[in-house]
Amino acid sequence: MDTTNTQMKTVTYDDAIVRAFSTVTVLWGVVAFLLGVIIAAQLSFWQANFGVEWLSFGRLRPLHTNAAIFAFVGNGIFAGIYYSSQRLLKTRMANDMLSWAHFWGWQLIIVCAALSLPLGLTQGKEYAELIWPIDLLVVVVWVIFGANFFWTLAKRNEKNLYVSIWFYISCIVTIAVLYIVNNLALPTGLTHSYPIFGGVQDALVQWWYGHNAVAFFLTTPPLGLMYYFMVKAADRPVYSYRLSVVHFWSLVFLYIWAGPHHLLYTALPDWAQTLGMLFSVMLWAPSWGGMLNGLLTLRGAWDKLRTDPVIKFFVVAVTFYGMATFEGPLLSIKSVNALGHYTDWIIGHVHGGALGWNAFLTFGILYWLFPRLWGTKLYSTKMAELHFWIGTVGILLYVVSMWVSGVSQGLFWRALDAEGFLKYPDFIEGLSNSIPMYHTRLLGGVLFLGGSLLMVWNLIMTARSGKPVTVSVQVPAQRPAGDKENAWQLLTSAPMLFMIGLIVLAVWFGAAGSMLSPVLLALLIVLGVAMIISYGVHQKRWGHWYGLIERNALVFTLLALVAILIGGAVEIIPTVLASKDVPLQITEKMAAADPVLAEKAKWVQKPYSPLELAGRDIFVREGCYNCHSQMIRPFRHEVLRYGEYSRLEESLLDHPFQWGSKRTGPDLAREGGKYDNLWHYMHLNNPRSTSPASNMPTYKHFKRKTVNVPALERHLAVQKKLGVPYTDQDLALAGQRYASQAKLISDDLAAKSITVPANSEIIAVIAYLQRLGRGPQPLAPVPVAATPAPAVQAVPATTLPAATPAAVPAKTPATKTTPAGH
């Protein structure tokens, strides 16, 4: 910046907010790692659940993931953004009050999460578990953060936006879109809601969010931080600015499409799966471009790797970024995913990214920031070195054990004997084989936690040895003049119009029939040639075009928003339309007229009874989906083990969907009818009584706790608003039907000398489990002579379908397997 003959003014940075965010990052980091160690211990030793409902794995695992993502990495990101943005924009944050509202609001969210998740208050969707009032708080705090950030952009004293700022912008706008869409829900009360999407729609929206929470919260902001802090630590400019342009735009455009790779071989339409796979593989290029750009930034400064622990943390972080972004596309290839999905391999992959990339980058930033924020030197370099090595060994133990465990599980599940039947039909046998790896993982986690405790001590002592520093900078009194071109002129400039034209023609060409395609192809070529000529004639103007875009925060933000919206729209809108094509009530006349519809009719889901819905709510509350999937993939070994593969039509009414992402226990999609009520009672009460090697927590509190039956009518009413075909009569008779069906199960248990109140939670959970994969179950005793039972006798007839085996699809061909163990 030319400051000659220019009056200068002093800008004082707000580093108090950076100190606050940095400090809580350290605190929440330890909490997140400790929770990780606890849940790792629970998988090794079921006793570590302590028989306490709010300490069970299903409730603590969401707390661990939320603490790691939003509390630890989140606060670390904010610390880095506040520090680097002020310096890159040469201005103080726009409004201190907004900064502090952001800080305290975010901490309030974390405390609310820490209280609500162990209490079982959850939405039942991974990384989106927080209940709707907390979601609203998240939105408010995010808007405050965004407003403060964009306001700061508007009052900046530097014309150009450095690459880090681009990544921050993409994070702010994309997370806003993802979070709001995925958390759209209708409340049934202050602490409970049902998502507006159901079944396959919910699955796609959830993983569009889930994957891009990784992308735009755990990847793009840390990449922005990498482009600032690594550059500063190495004291070298970024290796290639042009590569960073390609890195940014390719990453934000491609990432948003990749969500469906979490749903390969599920009931998601095949085209969406293929799209997810292809875009995931394409992501390899920009991800590695970014990684290489980061590593090569150290050119000429590699000697610092020997002496500077900050550089050590950064180099390992970027290396793990490269490893994770190699492994991610690899796992997205359908044939690899067939082996790896639902296994510990995914856990290893995720933790390679979370511990190696996110945590190590954050550690490096903290070690770099603390001495500067407190105007001192790091208390102990040796302690930081020790932290680095302990942490690295911890990550390696964790990741390698999960790779071994995951690949073994995948091979174990799919192993068939010479006759084509399951070689290991008992699921629990595979779990037993994984336990040594779980112990190794636990050791890795303990080491990682131990290393972070060293960091806590080191940073506390660093802060104590210095004093908070106030940093100022001289900038020209006059803000730099804006460019002549306004936003509209930029959006309608030649490069932009050519690009839009090419994209429109390319899309049209793809969708057009054989007659129109040659014409469109010719037009595409003509436009391409015209673009080259235009570039040749106006080379200088084209050369400055990106500079103009990147200096105009509004245009830049709009383009980033469009880039991420395209992928989301192309995937979600057709899926929503496709599932709307399935009529929820197919009459015999409709089925007779359309053979395809007749086939679908066999699978279309019927609404849950009030008791089953209550059981499902408890299933969601306990986080059972953390260990049990409800999605049988179309593989012989899965069909042999669990039954007929899952269809899209079977879970359309599930709000939220419960397809799951991990199988520590077996799939439950067709659990209904595999065991009797007594087995489920014994299993929930003490899983070891039916499956001696199980590591599942006990659910003794199901016997003690009762269902709030009067509230069920409201739950059914909300489901009805969401499109579940309940009638007014179904709602009015909810309590009566609940009691009637519950009595059937409690009477059955009583006949086997088990006395349990009909309104206890265990009855509802058993009813739900017995319903899975089957049609509606009897709501009252079925007359012996009636085969099949025409309708419920004791309860007035309604639209709730009668219990009939017709709704139960035929099971798979006979197997010589025994039912999967638990």
Partner 1 sequence: MFQEFFSRSSQLVWPLIGLLLSVVFFVGVLAYVFLGLRDRGHIGQLAALPFETEETSEGPAAITAGQIGRAS
Q: H or E segment at 11?
A: strand 8-12
Q: State which amino acid sits at residue 589.
A: K
Q: Which is nearer to partner 1, 46 or 379 (CB)?
A: 379
In the set 376, 433, 489, 815, which binds partner 1 (CB under 8 A)? 376
Binding flag, residue 400, partner 1 (CB under 8 A):
no
- Sequence-distant (≥ 6) Cβ neighbours of residue 605 within 8 angstroms: 199, 584, 649, 650, 651, 652, 653, 654
If binding is defined by CB under 8 A, does position 271 make contact with partner 1?
yes
State the minimum distance, in angstroms, from the CB of residue 179 to partner 1.
Answer: 23
Residue 288 makes contact with partner 1 by CB under 8 A: no
Which region, judged by CB under 8 A, interacts with partner 1, from 203-211, 507-515, 679-687, 770-778? 507-515
CB of 173 to partner 1, least distance (A): 18
Task: Report the sign of the C-alpha dihedral through residues 778, 784, 790, 795, in that order.
Answer: negative
Task: For the chain, state the CA radius of gyration.
Answer: 29
Residue from 465, 686, 689, 793 that binds partner 1 (CB under 8 A)? 465
Terminal C-alpha separation, the chain: 67
Q: Which is nearer to partner 1, 384 or 724 (CB)?
A: 384
Q: Is 467 in the site for partner 1 (CB under 8 A)?
A: yes
Cβ nearer to partner 1, comparing 221 with 665: 221
**What is the closest distance, in whole angstroms, from the C-beta atom of residue 546 to partner 1 in the complex?**
6
Which range in 193-201, 269-277, 688-696, 738-746 contacts partner 1 by CB under 8 A?
A: 269-277
Contacts 24+ apart (CB under 8 A), 514-523: none
Cβ distance to partner 1 smaller for residue 524 or 795? 524
Between residue 535 and residue 594, which ones bind partner 1 under the rule CB under 8 A?
A: 535, 539, 542-547, 563, 566-567, 570-571, 574, 578
Query: Per CB under 8 A, does 595 bind partner 1?
Result: no
Minimal distance, residue 310 CB to partner 1, in Å: 7
Contacting partner 1 within 158-177 (CB under 8 A): 158, 160, 162-164
Give the length of the chain.
822
Q: Counting contacts by CB under 8 A, is residue 726 touching partner 1?
A: no
The reply to whether 485 sits near partner 1 by the rule CB under 8 A is no
Distance, CA of 471 to CA of 490 (rounded, Å): 36
Does 492 contact partner 1 by CB under 8 A?
A: no
Rounded CA-CA distance 180/222 in Å is 22
| 54 contributes a contact to partner 1 by CB under 8 A | no
Residue 65 or 280 with smaller CB distance to partner 1: 280
Q: Does 269 bind partner 1 (CB under 8 A)?
A: yes
Query: Contacts with partner 1 in 207-236 (CB under 8 A)?
Result: 228, 231-235
**Stretch 69-98 residues interacting with partner 1 (CB under 8 A):** 84, 87-88, 90
Give the pair of three-digit tokens for residue 453. 């405790």
Report residue 23: phi and psi, to 5°. -65, -45
Count of C-beta atoms within a 10 Å radius of residue 636: 15
Stretch that binds partner 1, among 136-144, 427-435, 503-511, 626-634 (CB under 8 A): 503-511
> Residue 423 has which token pair?
């070689």
Q: Does residue 468 belong to the site contacting partner 1 (CB under 8 A)?
A: yes
CB 773 within 8 A of CB 671: yes
| 3-state secondary structure string across 194-263 | EECCCHHHHHHHHHHHHHHHHHHCCCHHHHHHHHHHHHHHHCCCCCCHHHHHHHHHHHHHHHCCCHHHHH
Could you tell me if 131 and 122 are in contact, meaning their C-beta atoms sit under 8 angstroms apart? yes
Does position 242 interact with partner 1 (CB under 8 A)? The reply is yes
CA angle 728, 731, 733 (to 5 degrees): 110
Distance CA 666, CA 660 (A): 11
Contact call for residue 495 and partner 1 (CB under 8 A) = yes
Sign (positive or negative) of CA dihedral 167, 172, 178, 179: positive
Q: Taking CB under 8 A as the rule, which mask of x and - marks residues 521-540 in contact with partner 1?
A: --------------x---x-
Give the distance from CA 432 to its chain's centroid.
Answer: 28
Nearer to partner 1, 647 or 771 (CB): 647
Beta carbon nearer to partner 1, 259 or 687: 259
DSSP 47-91: GGGTT-GGGSHHHHHHHHHHIIIIIIIHHHHHHHHHHHHHHHHTS
Q: Looking at beta carbons only, is 570 or 754 nearer to partner 1?
A: 570
DSSP state of 624: G
Residues 292-331, mask of contacts with partner 1 (x by CB under 8 A)? ------------x--xxxx---------------------
